Structure 1
Amino acid sequence: MVDLNDNLESPFFLKLSFNKYLNQFEKLIQSDNEIVRVNARRKLDIAKQNPILRDGFSDLSYLKTYKEEIQEILQDVFNPLLTLNEIKTASAPFHQVIFNSTERFDNIINVAGKDFELEIKNMPKDDMYIIMCTIILSRCYGYNINIKRPFFYEIPDAKGIMHYYKILLNADFIEIIPKEGTPKITEEDFDTLLDNFENIELWKEKFPQNSYIVKGFVISNIFDVTDDQSISNVKSTLIGEEKRNDESFMEDFHEIFRSLLDLKDIKVGFSIYNKEEDTFERVYGAGMNSYLLNQLDANRCTGALCGRSYNTLLKEKKFYTVSDVDKYYKISKGKAPQYKTLQDQNIKSAILAPIANDEGLMGILEIVSHEPKVLNSINANKLVDVMPFIVSAVERSKNEEVNLIEAIIQKECTSIHPSVHWKFEKEARNFIKDQLKGQKPSFNKIAFDDVYPLYGQIDIKGSSNARNWATQQDIKTQLTAAKDILEEVNQVQQLPIYEQYIYQIDEYLNEIDLHFQVDSEQQISLFFNNDIHPILRHIGKSNIMASEIAIYFENIHTKVNAVYHHRKKYDDTIAYINKEMASLLDKKQQDAQLMYPHYFERYKTDGVEHNMYVGESITKEESFNLMYLYNLRLWQLQVMCEMENAYYNMRSNFPVALDVASMILVFNQPLSVSFRMDEKQFDVDGTYNARYEIVKKRVDKAYIKGTTERVTQKGKISIIYSQKEDEKEYIRYIKFLQSKHLLDTDVEIVELQDLQAVTGLKALRVSVLYHRDDNDKEFYTYDDLMKEINA
């Protein structure tokens, strides 16, 4: 037995019943028309003989038992004379259980195929319980709540073209009866429910499951609205962002036009009109094509169109249709370029529709088919209603593209951080205001006074040595491979020149091992390009050592024209480190901005460096307090610990095992920064403030006083400072992070060797404690971690 209420969570207990429908015939017995009276009595007699039709049932097997009786009593609704014209169904309430329908509906469903499942596309399933409750409020309590919305079926025809059918639901023959003991809804309840549509638990409390009996059935009158819906779909499809990158966008667009034109074999393309150069250009995006350009990225309009089509599209801004491409190609003797281009793509008919506004042509909508005559000047008129939406979308797209270009320029070519954007905007407004007043406008200096700097870096230790080692290994590999080939060739074909090249290779191999210099790489590269490679190619042509020489050149990287194995591993490692460290820092920065707005920039070298400036002049509001500076300093130190941990947790993924060292520079005096228009970046103002920039550039290479030991060391964070109060402040932070097991207890204070024009610098150095992940309670020193990694 299949019951209507199986697996249905609702305030209703559903029963299929014809009671309310049959009550209409009780009135018709009194009709003056004898035919009407006889018909009414016949319906009522059937109901009297089968009381279950009035009482109702939820067991769907009764639909088969009483099939003839149900058809008989519904004959007035389903007129046999209109069965091939009307699309109509009778179904159970809140179910897709259809038990009576017209032949036209049945034919539509049969054509859709065996695998097709009928479904109301925009039925709000998640809110169905609440919608049922609103029906109770309206039917049982008289509260007028309008929550109606149009419903649709999407059903394909025999050609696979999607058709859209609007459903008008007639629920006049439904009764809703509260069960005994069902709680009544008060006005106070109603007022509460009005403000709590999303609170499903509240609705279930006021309307318990199965607390109301629903008896009756629903009549659905269905209408084919494919044309209207296709136009609506064009509009909704064109609204929204990032459509070009959506893989499904163009396929959806094709389907919409197939439905609109009732043609399966059509495709849609676009080309953009460049007025300045009088050219058509391809629109780039997922699945986008231009049938007017074929394989070209751009073409002059006179090269894509004949004189007549050019005048129709560009001057008159009218549709240009080609019902039979082959026919018109022959008539034009192949001289009309649009027919030649379409024929090359096996296109047999086409509609070219100008996308134009009051300012002129913006592009061409191209609809094409591989069948002749299916696209023509008659069905082209169906596009009239959709072109305004396409025009609006192209206008919006052009404006968005301008804005996007400006945004990319700002992001990629300038350093206008969001925290200072307000100042640039303010000066830009003043610039425009002066321009409108007829004054000579000038963009005033962008400067921020009394801001506190914070600087930090996580630097790759020994990157130069690692790069040199990788270079040496690649060169030795290449030299050895060339030497092996030349020695083999010399045994077959003894020539003094081979011996001379072998001698030169040995010299280079010795030089690499003993004293590899800066210019060694360039000298050896010239040796390969000018001497070795030409002779190897010559030898290869004579089939001597041909396979070995082919393998040699296969190992030569095309871009650097050399063996690029170890260097690639090194370069990939540096790029990976920079990418991951920068990504982590950017993510952490978002949290820091929420603590207090400040200027931030970071850049990649052999590692990642970052600058921060915080102060009243940047935030624009009178809200700055030194507490925010101290908070950012603590945040910075903690983030450096986290970046160290993140680095060593991912180091096993790197092609080359490198170490990093972290450093923070403390500068406790506020300074001024300004935007340098020539370099498009912020820099410090004034001679005194320039000392900060000098220290930044040189301090990571500084030595501890009286030693040859660099201040920055792997496994440690070095905090550079000059004032005693800075030392005290950071010792407090270190103690706090020691309590969180982020830093070790081996704090040391060292003096730095004097730098050029900078003296009196000190450093706090402390080892980082490492964790396997955020939840790891264990912690390791650098040496412990290396033992774990190398175990």
Structure 2
Amino acid sequence: MSNIHHRAFPFNTVLSLRLLVEYWEERIRSGEVPAFAAQLLAYIDQAPELRQPIDDYSTLEKHRPFINFLLTAAIPLASNSTDLVAIIEPFNFKAIYGTAAFNAHIDLTDFEEQAVANVPGGRVTLGKTLRACLMILEKYQDSRILSSNPKPVIVTLKDKVTGLDRVYKVELNHEFCEVIPHTAPKAIDKNIIKFLIEKIYDVDLWLQYFRPEDYTFQGFLITRMIDVTEQEMLSSIKYDLLEREALMQPESFSRIEHKVQSLFGMADIRMSIAYLDPSNRLAISYPATERWETLLGTISDLQGAHLSGSVYERSWIERRNITVENLQEYPFRSPIEENLLADGVRNILLTPLVDEGETIGMLELVSPVPGQLNPVSAHKMEHVLPMFTTAVKRVKEELSTEVRALIQEECTAIHATVQWRFFEAGVNLMNKRRTNDKAVLEEIVFKDVYPLFGMADVRNSSIERNVAIQRDLQENLVLAGTLLRTFQEHMSLPLLDAALVKVEEHFVRLGRGLVSSDESDVLDFLKQEIHPLLHRFEHEAALQQAIEHYRSQLDPFFGVVYTRRQAFEDSLQQINHTIGACLDDADDEAQKMFPHYFEKYRTDGVEFTLYVGSSLLKDRTFDAYNLQNFRLWQLLTMVDIARKITSLKATLKAQLDITQLILVHDQPLSIRFRADEHQFDVDGAYDIRYEIVKKRIDKAFIKNTGERLTQPGKIAIVYNQVKIEDEYERYFHYLRARNLMVGVVEMLELEALPGATGLRALRIAVAPEEPAANGEAPSLAAGVEEALRLL
């Protein structure tokens, strides 16, 4: 690539009026000029210096009126106040004449330094040099490239007062400029000319064939500049909007805003653009402003009675441009408009961005000057609105993907109810990391939420698992002992005697009960000492049947007897799956009552935690009625789980029971997301007691009895406030009415737990399930609503 834009114009130029004088002489002699022609010729004859090269501008001033008249051949007088036209020295921005319009708008003093041309590097020098070479090519190489394949010359100038860009198409007329060769021009092969055209911006290559010292440009050029700012700005804005983050990066956004200002010719216009994401309860805007959040709040309540009545809302709902030319005179101002006035805004233009009938964003232009923006201004923006809409749609999709990936990295999966808050924090983190790659996720805290905790645990699961392991190992040892005795019947080997002794020792030890090391010891013995014997003697015909029988009793995957352990694991999995599915179905209905945070953990059974409160949402209020709904929902869900597991027991390979427990915490608390553990924990020393109780109550005993609180077929409700008893007594009344519980309510006092004293409990027995008359179980949510009507 040429570096000509770092150098001066290489050709020699000379100002001359000779061709202009000859033009008039020819017109006069042909009779095209009226009676005063003789006086013109006489003046020309008396001023021979007008036919010579002019290097002293005093010559021009001496004959200024006459020269101005002669120049009407190039610039009609009628265009003086409208057209931007000037007469300049050849390829030198030094005007010898300019129209009044030109002189008012264009300053040629430092034009070449300030103007940016549509050539590589943007320097005007490169464009001038190419134009000079093309003029030589056209005149001496029989080429018509300038007239047959013209490329418009576009220059951008910055207004020294406003700082805005003005864009002009430059038309150069060289009718009165001649190329004077100093040597006879050499013919250039057509293939070379074609190659030069292909390398149009390689000026160093061009100057090898058109050497500057061989030519001089003499005469003057007619420069006509046509203001194309609007077309070029619109085109440039469209191009900028194709960039991936055009609307979210400060540099690119400022560049687009500057071009919008240049489009309107108003430096004090400010632009904002926003997209709204109702699913995440979030408004993303640049620059960030509170009014977008306000608008988001009104959109979620369009059917409600408390609408803001702002022009933003009107534009959004009606999907049309709205212009307020003077906010001070606007009679229907909402708090949004009042805030704008306080910020110095007097004039506003709003344009909704609509995609396939859906409003996805809003473009805002504001000005401190009344009347600057009007319906005509809106018409100008219509040409680029589709590109703004496309850009916003792309930003919305890409930002959502990027933020979700960031959330996944920082927080793993996020519950849908609180996703809006994480999305908001993710956007903030993404913006921070553009300038600080070590930025971390802001703290996410929800205050004044009510916790609901429940668990359905397999009764004595550890004991049942150990018994299953013990019996499988004992059976495996019996099979191994039988096999070893069969081997002894066919051969006498000391190793067989030693192995049989170890089998008997392990069997006796297991008979005393399973301790932590027994399982690994027996498995190691079987796999390292017994099973190698199978490979050693499997080719002995007399032993093959015994070996095959032994192998047939082993699990193909684990290589040991796994019958009872498998039955236990299968049964446990069935129970957990049933409880989990029941909880998921119940929570789907509960989310319809009031959106909330829900999570469950699978152990030997299932624990579930639910947080509900106004702070989890942006647009709903949680009250005591809602809390009662959820407590009754929780109780009905536990009853449903108990009855389903009772029905499931007949199909289980291992007879397992479950116990159930509910913890009632009467006071709201705060929860904080812990990024290191990717989960919510209660926040604050006072609320920690809730977590302590939650982790220990399943081991609680009834005071002075030695009896475990949790028992199969019963649901225990743990609490520490007496008023809870009255509330749950109403729920129990409903359960009895629906035949969901039997017997009396046990009112129990619990033994003190480490870190938790004074706990009490209610315990009820669940009635066995009876088939519904129509074969369909009633909706859980319908049951909650029915109960609350009766209470």
> TM-score, with normalisation over the residues of structure 2?
0.46
| Higher Rg of the two aligned structures | 2
